[in-house]
């Protein structure tokens, strides 16, 4: 049993954390099979948030409402049961649904509409009583992303692979984005994104485009600091989806996704990340010096090794020779 929970502040990136998140944290105090168990909660806050803190601790519990109030959420949660064979028509869908909070709160749906939604997003194929999950649908289940996100990534990866715009930060940011996040983006950054995104916006995604642009370009606006950190932690899951799409549809983007991974994790630009992979060197100082010499590939270095020895400093040459060894 957790006897005491201490919540260190009510704000994240300057904004109040939603009440239900705080309630979820403090609700862990005293959680036990013993019905008489007691826990203590300490909630730290600034003076300006003291009234909010008191309400979070002693106010009435907000109404708990089902999140399956729209087709996209319902389809997302139904898909694993379609994958497992438990849902294949209206009857089995209803049997599954009647165990949910949404059913208890008397929310009603036409399940054929949900099936049509999943078919239109290429998550399932076939007809009623013989629905089968597609490879795209399996990705949604495996990586726990909504069908709409998987479908959008598939469309965008096909487009960016065709155009080969991988070195364009704005286009790559567009290709990674799938929806609107509900985050605050300053007007100057938003205007920059709108002016430079070649493919425009089709999925109500401007805020997420701005977020991914900051990840790629290394910008850290104050209002996006927390969101950037959270997306950076989750980037492997996104990249694994993209690699899986490459396997399913033979998009030829595996190398570009590897470069993208280095860019985001190591905070490098496109050319530097590409060179880092080619040389298997992740020393940013060394890579920056190579870029200054206009050397962006292994072949460039081999062809200009004598110039490097003449003008490069001893430490840089030592690192290059250690990394490339017999090849130079």
Please spell the DSSP secondary structure of 120-170, one letter per residue: HTTSEES-TTS-EE-HHHHHHHHHT--HHHHHHHHHHHHHHHHHT-TT-HH
Question: 119-122 long-range CB contacts below 8 Å, 24 or more apart?
Answer: 121/75, 121/147, 121/148, 121/150, 121/151, 122/151, 122/154
pLDDT category of residue 202 using cuts at 50, 70 and 90: low
Token pair for 67: 């999140």
Q: Please name which of 114, 111, 133, 113 lies closest in space to residue 124, comparing C-alpha atoms.
A: 133
Say if 53 falls within a structural domain: yes
Based on the fold, state whether residues 250 and 294 are members of the same structural domain: no
Task: Domain of residue 100: give its range.
Answer: 71-133
Based on the fold, state whether residues 155 and 252 are members of the same structural domain: yes
Based on the fold, state whether residues 242 and 285 are members of the same structural domain: no
3-state DSSP assignment of residue 228: helix
Say if 276 falls within a structural domain: yes
Based on the fold, state whether residues 215 and 169 are members of the same structural domain: yes
What is the average pLDDT across 243-258?
A: 95
Beta bridge partners of 4: 40
Higher pLDDT, 202 or 9: 9
pTM for the model: 0.79
CA dihedral 250, 256, 260, 262 (to 10 degrees): 120
Based on the fold, state whether residues 250 and 177 are members of the same structural domain: yes
Say if 78 falls within a structural domain: yes
Distance between CA atoms of residues 19 and 63, nearest Å: 11
Based on the fold, state whether residues 194 and 290 are members of the same structural domain: no
Based on the fold, state whether residues 251 and 161 are members of the same structural domain: yes
Q: Is the pLDDT reported for residue 312 higher than 70? A: no
- Given 101, 133, 165, which residue is the final one in a domain? 133
- Given 259, 292, 309, which residue is the final one in a domain? 259
Distance between CA atoms of residues 322 and 301, nearest Å: 14
Task: Give how far Cα 284 sits from Cα of 231, 244, 287, Å.
Answer: 22, 29, 5
Longest dimension (CA), the chain: 79
Contact assessment for residue 199 and residue 171, using Cβ atoms and an 8 Å cutoff: yes
What is the tens place of the pLDDT at every residue in 153-171?
999 999 999 989 899 999 9
Q: Is the pLDDT reported for residue 325 higher than 70? A: no
Which phi and psi angles does 15 have, rounded to 5°?
A: -115, 145
Say if 140 falls within a structural domain: no
Based on the fold, state whether residues 279 and 304 are members of the same structural domain: yes
What is the average pLDDT across 73-99?
A: 92
| DSSP secondary structure code for residue 251 in this structure | -
| DSSP secondary structure code for residue 98 in this structure | T
- Given 85, 101, 133, which residue is the final one in a domain? 133
Say if 316 falls within a structural domain: yes
Say if 141 falls within a structural domain: no
Beta bridge partners of 124: 133
Q: How many folded domains does the chain comprise?
A: 4
Based on the fold, state whether residues 49 and 103 are members of the same structural domain: no
What is the average pLDDT across 26-37?
A: 78
Based on the fold, state whether residues 170 and 242 are members of the same structural domain: yes
Based on the fold, state whether residues 285 and 252 are members of the same structural domain: no
3-state DSSP assignment of residue 11: strand
Based on the fold, state whether residues 154 and 208 are members of the same structural domain: yes
Say if 105 falls within a structural domain: yes
Distance between CA atoms of residues 272 and 68, nearest Å: 44
Write down the pLDDT at residue 328. Answer: 58
What is the average pLDDT across 108-133?
A: 88
| DSSP secondary structure code for residue 100 in this structure | S
pLDDT category of residue 141 using cuts at 50, 70 and 90: very high
Say if 215 falls within a structural domain: yes
């Amino acid at each position: 049993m957790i006897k005491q929970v201490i919540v260190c502040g009510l704000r994240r990136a300057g904004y109040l954390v939603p009440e239900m998140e705080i309630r979820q944290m403090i609700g862990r105090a005293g959680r036990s099979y013993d019905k008489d168990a007691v826990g203590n909660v300490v909630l730290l806050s600034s003076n300006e948030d003291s009234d909010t803190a008191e309400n979070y601790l002693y106010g009435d519990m907000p109404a708990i409402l089902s999140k399956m109030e729209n087709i996209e959420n319902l389809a997302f949660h139904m898909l694993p049961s379609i994958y497992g064979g438990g849902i294949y028509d209206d009857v089995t869908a209803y049997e599954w649904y009647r165990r949910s909070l949404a059913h208890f709160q008397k929310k009603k749906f036409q399940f054929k509409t949900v099936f049509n939604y999943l078919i239109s997003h290429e998550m399932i194929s076939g007809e009623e009583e013989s629905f089968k999950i597609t490879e795209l649908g399996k990705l949604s289940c495996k990586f726990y992303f909504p069908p709409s996100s998987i479908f959008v990534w598939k469309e965008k990866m096909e487009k960016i692979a065709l155009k080969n715009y991988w070195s364009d930060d704005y286009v790559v940011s567009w290709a990674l984005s799938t929806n609107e996040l509900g985050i605050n983006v300053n007007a100057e950054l938003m205007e920059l994104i709108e002016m430079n995104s070649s493919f425009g916006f089709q999925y109500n995604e401007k805020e997420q485009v701005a977020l991914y642009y900051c990840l790629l370009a290394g910008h850290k606006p104050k209002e996006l600091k927390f969101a950037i950190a959270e997306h950076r932690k989750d980037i492997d899951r996104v990249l694994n989806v993209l690699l899986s799409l490459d396997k399913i549809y033979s998009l030829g983007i595996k190398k570009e996704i590897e470069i993208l991974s280095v860019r985001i994790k190591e905070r490098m630009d496109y050319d530097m990340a590409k060179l880092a992979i080619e040389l298997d060197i992740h020393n940013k100082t060394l890579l920056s010096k190579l870029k200054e010499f206009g050397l962006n590939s292994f072949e460039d270095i081999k062809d200009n090794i004598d110039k490097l020895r003449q003008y490069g400093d001893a430490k840089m040459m030592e690192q290059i020779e250690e990394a490339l060894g017999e090849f130079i």
